[in-house]
Amino acid sequence: MNNIVVFATDDLGGAGKAALRIVKVFNRAGHNCKLLVRNKQTNDNNVVRIYFK
């Protein structure tokens, strides 16, 4: 099992949805994968909001 981090600006929109699909594919394959975003819009546990000053 590998730890994988995917970065995106948000978890909605075209690129955000694609990034979330990639995260879910890695998790189904047995990896530990999280999506780090600046603007979190979903309640998905695989998405983690990161804060900036």
DSSP string, 1-53: --EEEEEEEESSHHHHHHHHHHHHHHHHTT-EEEEEEEE--S--TTEEE----
**Tell me, what's the pLDDT at 1?**
83
Q: Give the pLDDT score at 49.
A: 96
Ranges of each domain in the chain? 3-49
**Phi and psi at residue 14, in whole multiples of 5°?**
-60, -55
Per-residue confidence (pLDDT) for residue 42, from 0 to 100 = 93
**What are the tens digits of pLDDT across the range 30-51?**
999 999 999 999 999 999 999 9
- Token pair recorded at residue 14: 């075209």
The pLDDT tens digits of the residues spanning 17-28 come to 999 999 999 999
CA dist 39 and 27 (Å) reads 22
* pTM to 2 decimal places: 0.90
> How many CA atoms does the CB half-sphere of 45 hold within 13 Å?
2
